[in-house]
Amino acid sequence: MPNIDVPDDLMSWMLLRPELGAGMGAFSEAVYDKSSLPLREREVARMRIAEVNECELCRNTRDEWGAAAGVDEALYDHILEWRTWPGYSERERLAAEFAERLALDHVAMKRDADFWARLRAAFTDDEIVDLGICCALWLGSGRLMSTLDVAQSCSLTLHEGVNAPG
């Protein structure tokens, strides 16, 4: 049951402030449609934040383009084992670590020279910015939806019925 007086669905809470909701929608569209990072890397980061936020909508969101990009349920099932599960690449592990540390202790991450050396050895600066912007959306919106207790019984399929680019 939501902590505000709205139906428990994906959009009703944003309709209380449509001007801001439109901005949030544009931010979401940019992250999901303009990111240059591989979908697997984004999904590992997104799901790690979903777990930290305890956001059920985020946990239940999938992308229709996922299968074609090598995203399967195993990728989601092992997210809490991101350090050790052999199904993740090194870049996917770093994306999970970045997401987790941004969500849990960004100050310590900022000062961790070893982490930044590992991250910058695997990602270009523009990819790090891309990952950071994606994580900012997921962290903020997922945490807000979880806190307001809105859309927590929903599931979402991104790009449903839309052909993948290229």
Tell me whether strands 156-158 and 61-63 are parallel, antiparallel or unpaired: parallel
Task: List CB contacts of 83: < 8 A, sequence separation 6 or more.
Answer: 93, 97
- Per-residue tens of pLDDT for the chain, all 166 residues: 789 999 888 889 999 999 999 999 999 999 999 999 999 999 999 999 999 999 999 999 999 999 999 999 999 999 999 999 999 999 999 999 999 999 999 999 999 999 999 999 999 999 999 999 999 999 999 999 999 999 888 788 888 888 887 6
Indicate the domain borders of the chain: 38-158
Task: Given CATH 1.20.1290.10, say whether it is the number of domain 38-158.
Answer: yes
